[in-house]
Amino acid sequence: MWVSMFMVRADSRGGMLGALFEASPLSCREIIERTGLSRSQVYNALYRCWRSGLVLRTRDTIYERERVFRGRKGSSSHMLPYHLYVPGDGDVKEVTLGGRLFVGFSEEYLDPRGGGSVSKAKRVLGFLEEHRDGAFFSKEVVEALREHRVKPGDVMSNIRRFERKGLVYVRGYKSDGGQTPFQEGYLLTWLDPEMPREEAILDAVRRTDRALEGRASSSPVMERIHRIRDMVLEHSELRKLVSPRYIINELKCTPTELRVSLDRALQLYPDLKVVKLFDAYRYLYHDRLSPEDLAAAVEMKKNYIRIESGAANRIGHNWEAVAERFIDRFTTGARFMTQKHRKGAMDSRRITLHLIKSVGGRRRSAEVDRVWEVTPGVSSPTITYVLSCKWGLVNKKHVDDFLEVLRWSKSFGVDTPEGRELKNGVTGVFAASAFNPRENVQLKDDSKITLAQYAARRQLQLITAAEFNEKLRDRGIEKYVTVQKICKASKDESDVREILDALWDKPKSARGELQRTTNKNQDLYRFEERLEAKENKPRVNDVSN
């Protein structure tokens, strides 16, 4: 029997070495294919020859992605780790071939999966066992074992095996459909196998509860519900109503998630109340708010909605879109600047400037409607234009306020011996539906100049609606259609751009296009009329004796 076993080992070693001498380097799989030996025969022969110095092995493990066809189940892809082998003479300890280092046997080169050193899986499990009194997020485990080259993928891939063996308790957001990780990853803790199973699980749940105190709920929906109630309580304490738009910006969730959380919060907490303004806007408050404070908060919010959502605000934004469209069309090489805003509803082309001095009640920042750059030629300096738009009659105070914003902004102002001035190459542009023709500006020598002349002296360009209308006439559009009517008819800025593009392509159909837009937005006009309607309140003189 011993003779036959020796002959099998000798044959395995001889066949394996013969394959290596014929073609090397080879992997274990390639040796099996060439020799026809079994996997265990080749593995054992390679290990013995490596220890005796007859073969050298790559120092580092090689990883390749392998796709395996599994019949009707399709195919699966996984990472295949392996080593390459070359013949050795017993004296050479290492050699470099094809950019890879081949080494002789040493304890430091043993593969952890073969029991030669501590594997990453054992380090993860050992960490939880050593700190069995606590619970740790998977990211915390990665940070703790970073010196051992443990990566995020090493943690959960092994934790799931230990969970099936009953050695680790894993906790995340629980829902009807399953479990998802917290922001810091899954929460992990040790399950003592020596304790009764029920007691071990209860003890693990208590440890995870302590770790989650003040950090997260057991469900993302419940977490949002709790935060919604906290926000409503906070605003009610300040005698204010809170809007869903404010809540969604704070929670950073989707509209669907907000709707589900709001509906559930109103079901769970009867003390949360809803008031609907103008049959369109929902606001939340807590029932601790007294009737007097509630009435005052509702009236303040109505005034805010009238300003924010009324016709004047809509037309003002539409006027910005008109100015932008004409500037973009008639300015060669104009490059508009964009800026991300926290409130997604604000146009990205509106720019917030940082101020170094308060201007007109603005402490730290002020908004301008558009900023664009133009480079006239290769050797010409770039000119920056800053636009401010105002719907209605513009006076000198509006022009001065805009210039003060530019002068005291960090981006466009500069300190000079004469005081704060605009930087070279910066030009302000003020677009208004009309400038007050009767207003004259008195100079130091008691002479008077027009508002347009004053703006020109201050390096400011003025643009009026009449100039834009002239461009429409040059295009062949009838006088009935004006930019003022386009602003009043359009629902929003995208509506303005759509109308102007349509008029430019088909000037003869301008009146029909304007009428189509007006008919489409009738519901909007009626809603704005409702906002602007005065509430009928009886006066003292109207009360009959």
Q: Mind listing the pLDDT tens digit for each residue in 130-148?
A: 888 888 989 888 888 887 7
Mean pLDDT of 169-181: 72
Q: CATH code at 207?
A: 1.10.10.10
Judgement on whether residues 183 and 225 belong to the same structural domain of the protein: no
Alpha helices in 190-239 (DSSP H): 197-212, 220-237
Per-residue confidence (pLDDT) for residue 447, from 0 to 100: 83
Per-residue confidence (pLDDT) for residue 284, from 0 to 100: 92
Per-residue confidence (pLDDT) for residue 482, from 0 to 100: 92
Per-residue confidence (pLDDT) for residue 439, from 0 to 100: 81
Q: Is residue 440 part of a domain?
A: yes
Q: Among residues 94, 112, 130, which one ends one of the domains? A: 112
Mean pLDDT of 517-525: 86
**Three-class DSSP category at 96:** strand
Judgement on whether residues 226 and 195 belong to the same structural domain of the protein: no
Judgement on whether residues 341 and 465 belong to the same structural domain of the protein: yes
Judgement on whether residues 421 and 380 belong to the same structural domain of the protein: yes
Q: Is residue 291 part of a domain?
A: yes
**How big, in percent rounded to 5, are the helix, strand and coil portions of the chain?**
45, 25, 30
Judgement on whether residues 89 and 60 belong to the same structural domain of the protein: yes
Mean pLDDT of 108-113: 65
Q: Is residue 544 part of a domain?
A: no
Q: Mind listing the pLDDT tens digit for each residue in 365-414?
A: 888 889 999 888 777 888 999 998 888 788 888 888 888 899 899 999 89
Judgement on whether residues 295 and 338 belong to the same structural domain of the protein: no
Q: Among residues 112, 139, 154, which one ends one of the domains? A: 112
Q: Among residues 58, 80, 112, which one ends one of the domains? A: 112
Mean pLDDT of 296-317: 79
Q: Is residue 17 part of a domain?
A: yes
The rounded distance, in Å, linking the Cα atoms of 433 and 451 is 14
Q: Which residue has better confidence, 545 or 524?
A: 524
Judgement on whether residues 399 and 482 belong to the same structural domain of the protein: yes
**Three-class DSSP category at 475:** coil
Q: Is residue 534 part of a domain?
A: no
Q: CATH code at 390?
A: 3.40.1350.10
The answer to whether the beta carbons of residues 487 and 318 sit under 8 Å apart is yes
Q: CATH code at 44?
A: 1.10.10
Judgement on whether residues 41 and 20 belong to the same structural domain of the protein: yes
> Is residue 267's pLDDT more than 60?
yes
> Is residue 75's pLDDT more than 80?
no
> Is residue 310's pLDDT more than 80?
no
pTM value > 0.85: no
> Is residue 541's pLDDT more than 60?
no
Per-residue confidence (pLDDT) for residue 201, from 0 to 100: 87
Rounded to the nearest integer, the mean pLDDT of the chain is 82
With cut-offs at 50, 70 and 90, classify the pLDDT of residue 285: very high
> Is residue 115's pLDDT more than 70?
no
Per-residue confidence (pLDDT) for residue 315, from 0 to 100: 84
Judgement on whether residues 340 and 468 belong to the same structural domain of the protein: yes
Q: Which residue has better confidence, 182 or 296?
A: 296
Q: Mind listing the pLDDT tens digit for each residue in 463-496?
A: 888 899 999 999 999 999 999 999 989 988 888 9
Judgement on whether residues 391 and 505 belong to the same structural domain of the protein: yes
**φ, ψ at 313 (rounded to 5°):** -65, -40
Per-residue confidence (pLDDT) for residue 540, from 0 to 100: 32
Encoded tokens for 246: 């404010």
The answer to whether the beta carbons of residues 254 and 221 sit under 8 Å apart is no
Count the domains in the chain: 4
Residue 72 per-residue DSSP state: G
Judgement on whether residues 294 and 330 belong to the same structural domain of the protein: no
Q: Is residue 435 part of a domain?
A: yes
Give strand ranges (E) for 83-203: 84-87, 94-97, 100-103, 136-137, 168-171, 173-175, 178-180, 187-190
Judgement on whether residues 52 and 160 belong to the same structural domain of the protein: no
With cut-offs at 50, 70 and 90, classify the pLDDT of residue 176: low
For residue 208, give every residue at least 6 positions away whose Cβ sits within 8 Å of its Cβ, in sequence order, or none.
135, 169, 171, 187, 189
With cut-offs at 50, 70 and 90, classify the pLDDT of residue 188: very high
Q: Is residue 491 part of a domain?
A: yes
Residue 533 per-residue DSSP state: P
Per-residue confidence (pLDDT) for residue 93, from 0 to 100: 81
With cut-offs at 50, 70 and 90, classify the pLDDT of residue 9: low
Q: Is residue 539 part of a domain?
A: no
Mean pLDDT of 19-34: 86
Omega within 30 of 0 (cis) for the link into 437: no
Q: Which domain holds residue 293?
A: 220-309
Per-residue confidence (pLDDT) for residue 544, from 0 to 100: 30
